């Protein structure tokens, strides 16, 4: 099932280039009083309007910037607490019929080794990930007829059915090509978590220039891809932009326009927002010198503003970024990170010296999952592998019913502690186990229902798994 639909200019409706440019121009040199009013609105857990986000994007004064950073830190703590959800990317194939100039997978790249996992190889990859303690995966592949909805559904089934001892994958998210409504229904029925589609850049002229050939050259087909996912029954959606292709302020506005569009049409916005920066890719000159390079300071600023703009949306920070920057940006409102990641095809189960030539780009953080967990604990975070909301049906609009009144922290903190205890008992070294259990003891003094949480922890210690609120 593979469909290419001719783009209609009339479909390019909810990313108004002229309006975005006008908003960014008219909000330059913002009034500090107005900026602080915007921050207070966000701290009251209200999504910001377009003019308010444009105003924050134009803040340059150092003192005001620090107030933005502090507001983002405070908001994240109020809504998500101190937990950080962990996942791993699983690349299942790099065949691709698109020719995106910034991507190692592009069809015209002669330097990349093409590979698609067999069922046995897929099982071996999952076993390797499960054996390290992972519970959540994001499946990634190129855009190619072989990666049909049926293929993706079968991949999800294989992953869910591959178990090692107490370990299993409990949530499979997917980052793949836009599908038809019928295709999404097939994937939905396989038990998918979140479906991610990144627009890469919301700036239409830049998009057309960087995507010269293949189905991805169709801006509207990609832009409305998540609309069709909703219509196909998938209500957990992930949006994102690849920062460095165009002006970062414009892309933040594009992400907000996309959020508002989904809210207005379906009553619920994206479950997650991602904001990767361009990293070097084999055979891609543009990745070595991005046309709109985003500095570390600009990156921290955009992360903080996205958190303030959409308080209840999860924010994903990937291992594209180096460990030092990840550590710093976590404080700005991040809710999910990957750990122990490898993006070579088949590189979790095999030590592949050529994995870089099977990869989409180069990673900045190559630490193991356990190293990242130790670092999170040292920084006062609760590493979480929780998938409770997904399996309890708290997704899409139902998730927001819990999130908006502030119940996320009440559910998620205990569930984070349960999955951390599972990890400590089943996979951690003695050093990590000691660190983690000290953290759990400390957190028990802060939860509302400590007796019940303690009871559930005891059930885990007695061998039970997958307990949850």
- What is the DSSP code string of 354-417? TGGGG-SS--S----HHHHHHHHHHTT-EEE---HHHHTT--HHHHHHHHTTT-HHHHHHHHHH
The two tokens of residue 120 are: 């046995």
Phi and psi at 137, nearest 5°, equal -130, 150
Pairing type for strands 136-141 and 272-274 reads: unpaired
**Residue 88 host element (H or E):** strand 83-93
> Which helix (DSSP H) or strand (DSSP E) does residue 458 occupy?
helix 450-461
Q: Supply 181's token pair.
A: 């409504």
The CA-to-CA distance between both ends of the chain, in Å, stands at: 39
DSSP E strand boundaries for 303-360:
314-317, 336-338
d(CA 448, CA 245): 46
Which of 67, 63, 12, 112 minimizes the C-alpha distance to 344? 112
Q: Residue 83 pairs with which residues in a beta bridge? A: 382
Specify which residues 89 forms β-bridges with: 138
Q: Using an 8 Å Cβ cutoff, are 297 and 66 in contact? A: no
- Segment holding 171, helix H or strand E: strand 171-175
Contact 199, 223 (CB under 8 A): yes
CA distances from 374 to 89, 127, 152, 424 (A): 20, 22, 34, 11
Decide: 216 and 199 in contact? Cβ < 8 Å: no
Q: What is the pLDDT of residue 3?
A: 44
Run of H or E residues at 248: helix 248-266
**Residue 4's pLDDT is what?**
43
Chain centroid offset of residue 189 CA: 22
From residue 67, give the alpha-carbon distance in Å to each of 36, 193, 297, 428: 8, 35, 15, 38
Do residues 139 and 173 touch, judged by C-beta distance below 8 A? yes
Predicted local distance difference test score (pLDDT) of residue 306: 98
Please list, residue by residue across 1-28, b when 16 or more beta carbons sit within 10 angstroms of its beta carbon and e when fewer do.
Answer: ebeeeebeeeeeebbeeeebeebbeebe
Q: What is the C-alpha to C-alpha distance for residues 67 and 273, in angstroms, rounded to an integer?
A: 23
**Beta carbons of 440 and 349 less than 8 angstroms apart:** no
Q: How many residues does the chain have?
A: 469
> Tens place of pLDDT for every residue, the chain, 469 residues?
334 445 554 556 799 999 999 999 999 999 999 999 999 999 999 999 999 999 999 999 999 999 999 999 999 998 888 999 999 999 999 999 999 999 989 999 988 889 999 999 999 999 999 999 999 999 999 999 999 999 999 999 999 999 999 999 999 999 999 999 999 999 999 999 999 999 999 999 999 999 999 999 999 999 999 999 999 999 999 999 999 999 999 999 999 999 999 999 999 999 999 999 998 888 788 888 899 999 999 999 999 999 999 998 999 999 999 999 999 999 998 999 999 998 889 989 887 666 555 566 677 888 999 999 999 999 999 999 988 776 666 555 555 555 555 565 577 899 999 999 999 999 999 999 999 999 999 999 988 889 999 999 999 999 999 998 8
Determine the Cα–Cα distance for residues 141 and 95; give it in Å rounded to an integer.
8
The whole-angstrom separation of Cα 140 and Cα 264 is 29
Residue by residue, DSSP assigns 35-54 as: HHHHHHHHHTT-PPPHHHHH
- CB count, 10 Å around CB of 393? 9
Gap between the Cα atoms of 332 and 328, Å rounded: 8
Rounded CA gap, 36 and 378, in Å? Answer: 32
């Amino acid at each position: 099932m593979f469909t290419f639909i001719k783009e209609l200019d009339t479909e390019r409706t909810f990313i108004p280039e002229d309006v975005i440019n006008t908003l960014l121009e008219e909000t330059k040199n913002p009034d500090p009083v107005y900026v602080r009013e915007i921050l207070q609105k966000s701290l009251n857990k209200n999504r910001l309007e377009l003019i308010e986000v444009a105003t924050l994007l134009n803040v340059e004064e150092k003192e005001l910037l620090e107030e933005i950073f502090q507001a983002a830190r405070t908001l994240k703590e109020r809504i998500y607490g101190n937990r950080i959800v962990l996942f791993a990317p699983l690349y299942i194939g790099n065949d691709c019929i698109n020719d995106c100039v910034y991507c190692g997978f592009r069809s015209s790249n002669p330097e990349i080794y093409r590979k698609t996992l067999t069922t046995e190889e897929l099982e071996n990859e999952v076993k390797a990930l499960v054996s390290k303690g992972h519970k959540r995966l994001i499946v990634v592949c190129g855009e190619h007829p072989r990666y049909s909805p049926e293929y993706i559904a079968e991949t999800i089934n294989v992953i869910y059915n591959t178990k090692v001892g107490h370990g299993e994958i409990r949530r499979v998210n997917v980052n793949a090509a836009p599908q038809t409504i019928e295709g999404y229904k097939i994937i939905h029925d396989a038990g998918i978590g979140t479906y991610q589609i990144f627009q890469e850049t919301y700036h239409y002229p830049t998009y057309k220039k960087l995507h010269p050939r293949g189905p991805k050259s169709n801006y509207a087909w990609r832009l409305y891809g998540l609309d069709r996912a909703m219509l196909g029954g998938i209500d957990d959606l992930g949006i994102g932009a690849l920062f460095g292709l165009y002006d970062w302020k414009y892309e933040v506005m594009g992400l907000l326009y996309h959020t508002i569009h989904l809210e207005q049409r379906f009553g619920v916005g994206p479950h997650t927002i991602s904001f990767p920066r361009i990293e070097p890719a084999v055979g891609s000159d543009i990745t070595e010198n991005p046309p709109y390079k985003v500095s570390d300071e600009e990156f921290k600023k955009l992360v903080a503003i996205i958190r303030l703009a959409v308080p209840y949306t999860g924010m994903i920070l990937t291992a594209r970024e180096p460990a030092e920057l990840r550590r710093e940006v976590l404080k700005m409102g991040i809710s999910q990170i990957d750990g122990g990641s490898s993006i070579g095809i088949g590189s979790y189960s095999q030590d592949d010296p050529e994995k870089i030539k099977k990869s989409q780009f180069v990673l900045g953080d190559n630490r193991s999952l356990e190293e990242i967990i130790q670092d999170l604990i040292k920084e006062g975070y609760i590493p979480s592998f929780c998938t409770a909301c997904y399996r309890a049906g708290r997704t899409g609009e139902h998730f927001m019913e819990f999130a908006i009144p502030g119940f996320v922290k009440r559910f998620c903190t205990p569930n984070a502690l349960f999955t951390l205890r599972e990890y400590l008992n089943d996979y951690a070294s003695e050093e990590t186990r000691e660190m983690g259990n000290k953290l759990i003891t400390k957190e028990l003094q802060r939860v509302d229902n400590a007796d019940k949480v303690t009871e559930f922890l005891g059930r885990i210690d007695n061998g039970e798994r997958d307990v949850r609120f």
